[in-house]
Structure 1
Amino acid sequence: MVRSSCLLSASVAALCLAVRNFAFLQGTPPSPFHFRNERRARTAQRVLIDSDKLLDRSRQSRAAKGPNQKVKPEEKLKIAIVGAGLAGLTAAMDLSEAGHEVTIFEARPFIGGKVGSWEDKDGNHVEMGLHVFFGCYYNLFGIFQRLGIFDQALRLKEHTHTFVNEGGRLAGLDFRLGNIGAPINGLNAFFQTQQLEPYDKFRNTIALALSPVVRGLVDFDGAMENIRDLDGISFTDWFLSRGGSRGSIERLWNPIAYALGFIDCDNMSARCMLTIFQLFAVRSEASMLRMLEGSPHVWLHAPIQKYIEERGGQVLTRRRVLDFIYDQDESGKPTKVRGLVVTGDPGAGRQDERREFDAVLAATDVPGIKALLPESFKRHYQELANCMRLVGVPVATVQLRFDGWVTELNDEVKMKDVGGDKSDGKAPGIDNLLYSADAEFSCFADLALTSPADYYKEGQGSLLQCVLTPGDKWMGKGTDDIAKATLEQVHRLFPSSKKLNCTWWNVVKLNESLYREEPGADRFRPPQRTSLPGFYMAGSYTYQDYIDSMEGATKSGLQAADAILEDTPLLSRTRRREPALASA
């Protein structure tokens, strides 16, 4: 305990010294009285100069209230949205709320994109990933508030990030420190953690004290500029160059990187990881976690679809976009997007349809946009050609149902007890997101505990949802083999689980999920407003100053809707209700 206290004191001193030195270089008097007296003013200034709105809590209010405008009747547009993921759904909410006529085309039989879920014939809810909501998801939380479901749909977890090591040894980052918030609670979490050896903890402090995160405490925009400039190198290269240790990478940062972007620190851009650290350092709530009450379809997508349809929008599933309709000049350069060619209503006699629109918003993922863009678009517009430089990351999500409670480590009787009412999180075990450095699923959770409304089943036990990353090695394997390998690793983490039976399993494989946030990739992310008139883009891979995530998708959808609303007068003047000149 004495040694840990000394380390914590040393780390706090190192951080304070770094802040003071930075402030001195900026011309700010380093007096401790100055820091104390001006703290509130600096905090207010940071929010005001947060040009990308990463810290701006008013974004939550904006997302909750919707667009502050209604279109004139004569300027009402017909807008097509390709893709019913969070980006497309969020954009549709704003555009339909403003008065436009919105139609969403989704190729899959369900909505939600990478956050999609569905119910199988036996009543099991199946997801395409494990979805956790960080406290800095201001835009997405605003959407929950607009729908009136924030308190009902989200379950707040303890302010800890728990690691499960081989043999059931628990460690983690405990951000709970009474009324003390960021950055001190974060420093305490890192220096009290048992996930790292004392030497690695100290080296961690050196690296973080020399990071842009320190500058962000007094100059947020300046720090973010520094962080963006680090997109060309990996987090590992940056971290080791600042005094961090390989042990910290392997035991702490890799599991976090896998959970965030499905790749390790050797392959992830320093920009990506440091963006998250910056938010954690400045905002206490940023590191807090919430999970849905149940499945995404029930608790998020269905309310969004209802909202859109109540405002005259349409959400059409099993409708694939085959082609674009567009004007072109004499050289073949597309000059205006006019509509889409889509598959018709499902069923016998299905025929393709030509549908004319005043604007088209492509709200897809990386493989989706690559398949969607015509060659002429990529040939004549560089920001669209850049999309071909982005790569999706493979991932496999495994669900394992047991006849007991896997994460209950202290009481074998409780572990095996599935009788009685264990709904609403009353079952024994760990009710939180879990990380591991000793398994190929770097993050996982017992959904019967964390999201019990749809995942708890009476008389049954844990439903572990495990995300296998990196997923490359699993793409060519059969689902039986994947489930078996996952179960073996569960047994290594939780030896007591060998006394339980796995009663059901499911595997979902995605060849390309999140875009690969590797060094140098950030510059290829396209803007929401493209150079091609009438064509807009959204999706978490499009440019917004955050990582590929649910919040990133939501932010991109809101930005795309803002762009279309700003362009509405021009789009209404240039619309045409006659066949366009060309299709791809």
Structure 2
Amino acid sequence: MALAVPSPVTWAPLVVMLLTGIARRRHRQQQRWLQLQRRPRHLMNGGSVRGCPLSGFQAQLILSSCLKDEDGDWYETGLHIFFGAYLNIQNLFGELGIEGRLQWKEHSMIFAMPNKPGEFSRFDFPETLRAPGYGAILRNNEMLTWPEKVKFAFGLLPAMVGGQPYVEAQDGLTISEWMKKQGVPDRVNDEVFIAMSKALNFINPDELSMQCILIALNRFLQEKHGSKMAFVDGNLPERLCMPIVDHIRSRGGEVRLNSRIKKRAES
């Protein structure tokens, strides 16, 4: 006997309503926390702590992972992205007066499709939603089918409802173990979690703690601009690191390069 499966037209609106209701609840819970994070604060205490000048020590001869060759060209040895969820780093840019050096990209994420070499799939985050991450997932039909989206959504329900206590409790589970426990399809791992694991910690889903993924998803899905990305408009040593050094030195502190700490004196 054939089993009749309801059309997505029938149950998709219910899923959207469910996710929207949860998102609104979580949004209200996070507003207080976000307000505290966005309060003006001094991230660098004028180069001193209680009147004592600060000294910064860097073991390398350079201020960051960027290298400059003999021709004056800069080479990146890492990918430096600044997300909208990084409120403290945005406060730092503001305190240094260099917030204009952050070049914000359009709010979308682009994934390479493993089974279609050379093709990419976009997750566009609608600006009209308070929690645009859910809208981005629902609007993308290239990487996940509707049944896979629904199973993924129900798998994430405990994290949405349980909040931070649930997230912290998943530290003992890898992504792969958590997926099996929650009944999330393997294709979600292949299409989404492998890329996220590599981006977050350069390891595979069967090695990375699910807590790490849930922390990122919680910020990216719940916050309006949490997953929006920015790059610095040039090399990091000159455009970010030197302003920090100048700020510290102008207030009586010092920054020493090629000065590895070998021993710490006990007070």
Both proteins in one fold, TM over 0.5: yes
Deviations 1:205-255 (A, max 9, x none): 22123x31234xxxxxxx101111111111221123112111110111210
Match of 1:190 in 2: 137
Deviations 1:64-115 (A, max 9, x none): x41xxxxxxxxxxxxxxxxxxxxxxx6xx32615532111221100123xxx
Secondary structure (helix, strand or coil) at the match of 1:284 reads coil
- Note if contact 2:159-2:166 (Cα within 8 Å) is conserved in structure 1: yes
Secondary structure (helix, strand or coil) at the match of 2:226 reads helix
Residue 162 of structure 1 and its aligned partner are, at CA, apart by: 0.5
Give the whole-Å Cα distance in 1 for the aligned partners of 2:31 and 2:215. Answer: 16
Say whether 1:94 aligns with 2:45: yes
Change (3 A) 1:187 1:101: same
Residue 136 of structure 1 and its aligned partner are, at CA, apart by: 0.9
Match of 1:225 in 2: 165
Query: Match of 1:212, as an amino acid?
Result: A
Residue 191 of structure 1 and its aligned partner are, at CA, apart by: 2.1
- Note if contact 1:162-1:173 (Cα within 8 Å) is conserved in structure 2: yes
- Note if contact 1:102-1:313 (Cα within 8 Å) is conserved in structure 2: yes
- Which of 112, 137, 154 is the aligned partner of 1:164? 112
Q: In percent, how many aligned pairs have the same letter? A: 25
- Which of 249, 255, 258 is the aligned partner of 2:189? 249
Larger radius of gyration: 1
Give the whole-Å Cα distance in 2 for the aligned partners of 1:122 and 1:6. Answer: 62
Query: Match of 1:269, as an amino acid?
Result: S
Change (3 A) 1:290 1:4: farther
- Note if contact 1:230-1:270 (Cα within 8 Å) is conserved in structure 2: yes
- Note if contact 1:213-1:274 (Cα within 8 Å) is conserved in structure 2: no
Give the whole-Å Cα distance in 1 for the aligned partners of 2:244 and 2:12. Answer: 46
- Which of 150, 155, 166 is the aligned partner of 1:207? 155
- Which of 9, 32, 35 is the aligned partner of 2:13? 9
- Which of 270, 274, 288 is the aligned partner of 2:228? 288
Residue 143 of structure 1 and its aligned partner are, at CA, apart by: 0.3
User: What TM-score comes out, normalization by structure 1 length?
Assistant: 0.41
- Note if contact 1:117-1:297 (Cα within 8 Å) is conserved in structure 2: yes
Match of 1:146 in 2: 95
Runs of 5+ unmatched residues, structure 2: 1-6
Aligned residue runs from structure 1 range 409-448, under 5 A: none
Change (3 A) 1:187 1:168: same
Match of 1:56 in 2: 34
Change (3 A) 1:197 1:46: closer
Give the whole-Å Cα distance in 2 for the aligned partners of 1:60 and 1:146. Answer: 13
Give the whole-Å Cα distance in 1 for the aligned partners of 2:107 and 2:10. Answer: 24
Residue 284 of structure 1 and its aligned partner are, at CA, apart by: 0.9
Deviations 1:125-170 (A, max 9, x none): 122310111111011110000000112x101111100112343212
Residue 7 of structure 1 and its aligned partner are, at CA, apart by: 6.2
Query: Match of 2:231, as an amino acid?
Result: M
- Which of 215, 237, 260 is the aligned partner of 2:200? 260
Deviations 1:248-280 (A, max 9, x none): 101112101211121222111111111111122
Q: Tell me whether 126-135 or 5-14 shows the greater mean CA deviation.
A: 5-14
Aligned residue runs from structure 1 range 466-481, under 5 A: none
RMSD over aligned CA atoms reads 2.6
Residue 317 of structure 1 and its aligned partner are, at CA, apart by: 0.6
Give the whole-Å Cα distance in 1 for the aligned partners of 2:247 and 2:9. Answer: 52
- Which of 239, 243, 246 is the aligned partner of 1:299? 239
Secondary structure (helix, strand or coil) at the match of 1:252 reads helix
- Note if contact 1:162-1:170 (Cα within 8 Å) is conserved in structure 2: yes
Match of 1:108 in 2: 60
- Note if contact 1:134-1:286 (Cα within 8 Å) is conserved in structure 2: yes
- Note if contact 2:81-2:231 (Cα within 8 Å) is conserved in structure 1: yes
Give the whole-Å Cα distance in 1 for the aligned partners of 2:12 and 2:247. Answer: 49
Deviations 1:470-515 (A, max 9, x none): xxxxxxxxxxxxxxxxxxxxxxxxxxxxxxxxxxxxxxxxxxxxxx
- Note if contact 2:46-2:251 (Cα within 8 Å) is conserved in structure 1: no
Deviations 1:292-325 (A, max 9, x none): 1111112110110110110111111111222233
- Note if contact 1:8-1:191 (Cα within 8 Å) is conserved in structure 2: no
Deviations 1:420-452 (A, max 9, x none): xxxxxxxxxxxxxxxxxxxxxxxxxxxxxxxxx
Residue 117 of structure 1 and its aligned partner are, at CA, apart by: 1.5
Give the whole-Å Cα distance in 2 for the aligned partners of 1:162 and 1:270. Answer: 22
Higher normalized strand content (fraction of residues)? 1
Give the whole-Å Cα distance in 2 for the aligned partners of 1:324 and 1:100. Answer: 18
Give the whole-Å Cα distance in 2 for the aligned partners of 1:295 and 1:311. Answer: 25
Give the whole-Å Cα distance in 2 for the aligned partners of 1:105 and 1:16. Answer: 48
Give the whole-Å Cα distance in 1 for the aligned partners of 2:192 and 2:8. Answer: 18
Query: Match of 1:125, as an amino acid?
Result: W
Deviations 1:391-448 (A, max 9, x none): xxxxxxxxxxxxxxxxxxxxxxxxxxxxxxxxxxxxxxxxxxxxxxxxxxxxxxxxxx
- Note if contact 2:48-2:54 (Cα within 8 Å) is conserved in structure 1: no
Say whether 1:240 aligns with 2:190: no
Give the whole-Å Cα distance in 2 for the aligned partners of 1:163 and 1:6. Answer: 29
Equivalent pairs, count: 257
Query: Match of 1:192, as an amino acid?
Result: R
Secondary structure (helix, strand or coil) at the match of 2:45 reads helix
- Note if contact 2:133-2:222 (Cα within 8 Å) is conserved in structure 1: no
Match of 1:361 in 2: none
Change (3 A) 1:304 1:268: same
Query: Match of 1:145, as an amino acid?
Result: G
Give the whole-Å Cα distance in 1 for the aligned partners of 2:59 and 2:85. Answer: 31
Change (3 A) 1:118 1:9: same
Secondary structure (helix, strand or coil) at the match of 1:315 reads strand
Query: Match of 2:160, as an amino acid?
Result: V
